Amino acid sequence: MEQSIESYIKTLVRDVIGQTLGGLEIQSDRQTYVIANWKMNKNLNETAEFFQKIHSSPDVSVVICPPVQLLYPSHLFIKQSGKPLGLGGQNVHWADKGAYTGESSATMLKDVGCEYVIIGHSERRQYSFEDDELVNKKVQQAIKSGLIPIICIGETLGQKNAMQTEQVLSKQLFGALKDIDSSQFILAYEPVWAIGTGQSATAELAQETHAYIRSVLKQIIGQKAECISILYGGSANEKNASEYSAMPDIDGVLVGGASLHAESFDAIINVFAKGEQKS
Rounded Cα distance between 65 and 259, Å, is 10
Do residues 22 and 260 make contact, with C-beta atoms less than 8 angstroms apart? no
Contact flag: residue 231 with ligand 13P (CB under 6 A) = no
Build a one-symbol-per-residue string for 232-251: x at contacts with ligand 13P by CB under 6 A, - elsewhere.
Answer: -xxxx---------------
Contact window for ligand 13P (CB under 6 A) among 10-18, 165-173, 188-196, 210-218: 188-196
Count H helices, E strands: the chain? 11, 8
Q: For residues 50-109, which are near ligand 13P according to CB under 6 A?
A: none
Contact flag: residue 254 with ligand 13P (CB under 6 A) = yes
Out of 256, 265, 268, 273, the only residue in the binding site for ligand 13P (CB under 6 A) is: 256
- Backbone phi, psi, residue 119, to 5°: -130, 135
SS3 label, residue 86: strand
Contact flag: residue 257 with ligand 13P (CB under 6 A) = yes
Helical ranges in the chain per DSSP H: 2-21, 44-53, 71-81, 106-111, 122-127, 132-145, 157-161, 165-176, 203-221, 241-245, 262-274
Contact flag: residue 195 with ligand 13P (CB under 6 A) = yes
Contact window for ligand 13P (CB under 6 A) among 18-26, 77-85, 159-167, 253-261: 253-261
Rounded Cα distance between 148 and 142, Å, is 7
Whose CA is closest to 190, among 148, 137, 252? Answer: 252
The type of residue at 108 is M
Q: For residues 8-37, which are near ligand 13P according to CB under 6 A?
A: 37
Which residues are tagged catalytic?
121, 190
Closest distance to ligand 13P from the beta carbon of 189 (Å): 11
Q: For residues 110-139, which are near ligand 13P according to CB under 6 A?
A: 121
Closest distance to ligand 13P from the beta carbon of 198 (Å): 8
Residue numbers of the site for ligand 13P (CB under 6 A)?
Answer: 37, 121, 190, 195-196, 233-236, 254-258
